[in-house]
Amino acid sequence: MDLRRITVGLIVLGTLFLLAACGESGLSDQQSTTPTPSPTVASVAAETPTGQTGVPTPDGSSQPTATPHPVTIEPTQPSDAPVATLQREVASVGQADSDVLWNFNGTEWAPNGTAPSCSEPLGLQTPVDMSIVTGALWPGQQRGAYVAHGGFRFDDNVDNQAIVRAPLGSHLVQASQYLSGGTPQYLLFFSVPCGFFYRFDHVLEVPPDMAEALKDVPLGGEGDSRTIFINPPLWVDKGDIVGTAVGISASNIFVDFGLYDVRQSNNVTPDPAWADLFAEDKEFGHYGVCFFDYLPGTDGDTMRSLPTGKEGPTSDFCE
């Protein structure tokens, strides 16, 4: 009886030992299926800043740059789009219809579209440096032929260098190149969108952009100043340089300047004697104005006080 109890006890103990050994083996297998982080991956993750990527630099190395976040970008015109000219035209004149050009039909002037209103005052910029002007040519007088334009003299200049600027935002629409005393001269006409014209004559040299626009203007003979149309017209802002040298020789330095209100004839035209005598100059003579009255500040008074030619300070336009 005791022997049987001992045998049974030994069997039970053996079974318990066997079960314990199997349980430990199962636990070890279960723990080994849980992955551990790779040391290599953990190291790379720590060195790369969040939200950055590497881009090549000129020397072939890599430097971190911020990863772009989605943003809304307003559409823009391509870099080669002709924006500058359009913006210049609108901005410099300050009017929406700055592409308007005025044309003469042989009888009267008319715009090719709805012309903007002119500012009051007009806002003219003196086209030359008044500190070097020594004499005034008065508009609206007979100097050989009848002329509606005047001008500025620079008798103290040692050479023909004198800057001429656009007095208003405008289009260069007509020009000629001709000889005067054997010297090539430019005659330039500009159309102001609101209804004025102005001209410069005896311009000796022009800046590169003007030269490009004038490259197809033929050189006429002595005194042959017939103009051609500039196509396309060249826009110039108020204050832009349109001439860098003026005059015929180093001893005759001047530039002609005429201003014309082409919206209506001037107050001289109703005089029948005047109209008949100077009918040849219908295009501009009947529309000339006293540009002294449009110069800013005291420049107009200064022009009236300066020495003038043999014709004296007389004018059909200036009081």
Question: How big is the CA angle at 302 (ends 297 and 307), to the nearest 5 degrees?
Answer: 165
pLDDT of residue 204: 97
Quick one: what percent of the chain has pLDDT higher than 90? 56
pLDDT of residue 84: 30
pLDDT of residue 145: 78
Cβ 243 vs Cβ 204: under 8 Å: yes
- pLDDT tens profile 9-44: 444 444 444 444 444 433 333 333 333 333 333 333
pLDDT band at 144 (very low <50, low <70, confident <90, very high): confident
Q: Is 232 exposed, middle or buried (0-12, 13-18, 19+ CB in 10 A)?
A: exposed
Q: Which of 33-37, 43-47, 146-150 has the highest mean pLDDT?
A: 146-150
**pLDDT higher at 76 or 166:** 166
pLDDT of residue 316: 87
Domains in the chain with CATH codes: 102-305 (2.70.70.10)
Quick one: what percent of the chain has pLDDT higher than 70? 66
- pLDDT tens profile 66-124: 333 332 222 333 333 232 333 333 333 333 347 999 999 988 999 999 999 999 999 99
pLDDT of residue 98: 78
DSSP 121-158: S--PPPSS-GGG--EEEPSSEEESEEES-EEEE-TT-S
Q: Is 118 exposed, middle or buried (0-12, 13-18, 19+ CB in 10 A)?
A: middle
Q: How far apart are CA 133 and CA 127, in angstroms?
A: 11
pLDDT of residue 74: 29
Cβ 198 vs Cβ 258: under 8 Å: yes
Kindly report the length of the chain. Answer: 319
Residue 130 has pLDDT above 90, yes or no: yes
Cα-based distances in Å from 296 to 17, 49, 139, 292: 117, 64, 17, 9
**pLDDT higher at 24 or 171:** 171
| Residue type for position 298 | T
Residue 262 has pLDDT above 60, yes or no: yes
DSSP 246-274: ESSBTTB-EEEEEEEETTS--TTTT-HHH
Q: Is 223 left (phi over 0), alpha (psi -120 to 50) or beta?
A: left
- How much is the average pLDDT of 183-208? 97
Bond prior to 232 in cis (omega within 30° of 0): yes
- pLDDT tens profile 287-303: 999 999 999 999 999 99
- How much is the average pLDDT of 135-164? 92
**Cα pseudo-dihedral 110, 112, 113, 116, rounded to 10:** -60
**pLDDT higher at 192 or 147:** 192
pLDDT of residue 53: 30
- pLDDT tens profile 263-280: 998 877 667 676 666 667
